[in-house]
Structure 1
Amino acid sequence: MTNTTDQQGYTVVVPAAGVGSRMQQPLAKQYLHIDGLTIIERTLTRLLNHPKIDRVIVVLAEHDQYFATLPIAQHPRVSTAVGGKERADSVLAGLLAMPPQRWAIVHDAARPCVSHEDIDKLIEFCQLHQQGAILASPVRDTMKRTNSANQIDRTEERAGLWHALTPQMFERNMLINALQTALTEQVPITDEASAIEYAGQTAHVVSGREDNIKITRPADLPLATFILQQQESICE
């Protein structure tokens, strides 16, 4: 039977084993710089400064030699694990390296703009409802479904459509089992919620801020820089 005792401190798994080919850079995108710090340093600092986060596990590519050179790698609440070819492999490695806590949180290395307010909302929802959830933002644009020739097939009804964000928070053992099943059955997993969905479990959405962007393309870097500057100016 699952222990329902409220968990006071949380561990965040940060998959960072990808190469980020869409950034068109020789360096993995998490090691590109924003105002003198790498993207991953900014992301980890944002997480570590949250009062409910006790530890961050960064999951790295097997031959990553760059992370260890960053000052944040020496932070007493940061540890590392070795990831795999796919995101699901890396998240699973991070979960297995965690302490035996009930809840696990997963956050993208390339989302440095996540707010503490949204992290609080996610944790509070999961604790209140005893259900896993993800941060998400509602789709506002008209959505088109195309065929293989990129011709518009139909317009999708946007009511009930959400952009999936991170963090995503689920019971650790449930997520481990879901990821292991998906990997064994070779099911494409794009985020943690998709593994939970495939396992037939319930995943909720918690409405989050739209400025929690993921840096995936060159144009995202100046946008993230602007967002961080705006967020920091509000906090001053």
Structure 2
Amino acid sequence: MDMDLNSDLGESFGAWRMGDDATMLEVVTSANVACGFHAGDPTGILNTLRAAASRGVVVGAHVGYPDLVGFGRRNMDPSSAELVADVVYQIGALQGLATAAGTQVRYVKPHGALYNTIAYDKRQASDVIEGILAIDPSLVLMGLAGTPVLQWAQERGLATVAEAFADRAYTPEGSLVSRREKAAVLHDPEIVGQRMVRLVETGKIQAIDGSLIALQADSICVHGDSPGAVAMAQQVRQQLEAAGVSLKSFVAGSSL
């Protein structure tokens, strides 16, 4: 069994430190690197890219709404022209920094509110897909497992990767519980690790009401900005490896 383990990194901004990228990059196989719209400044992003390159971690563009104050977690309704251009702009900026760091951008994972919106909103999903196709159609789109955006992207010719979240609760319908709700974020590394082993072995995950839902995923995310994020990621990795799962990026030829 193979599985990719990813985390959202490069999100520090000036004197504001977010997460422990250096340590997290020792654990994950793919890094979703901020592009400056929801978080991240050029110096910090470049440092994260260099650290990823030195460890052989695959890099993806973590594109989001232009919302530094809200950390990209507030819903927005940009025009199609704006959203397409925003996606192109962010990927292009990260590609330039990645080149300077000795690596390259291999995939795109939208962030926060944009990620959740395009999972079901066909107009905004189409705009994000259009932006990716415009700059580099070889990029892979990472999206929420079991949602329509993955099929829409495939219909346009994009390769896709289905993602599950280690540290987030799920609704019985298979979507993420809103961060505004109690128990939306999980904090016990042992329990989270067990959930991910069951997901990989059975294709099922427990929803917030206790029911089991089917979920086929190619990548597991541990948020880099959550309290105890590194310990969470380490526990997930340890339990998966103990269960015989090989941790490797979904990008062919890449492994950690």
- TM-score, normalised to structure 2, is 0.33
Higher strand fraction: Structure 1 or Structure 2? 1
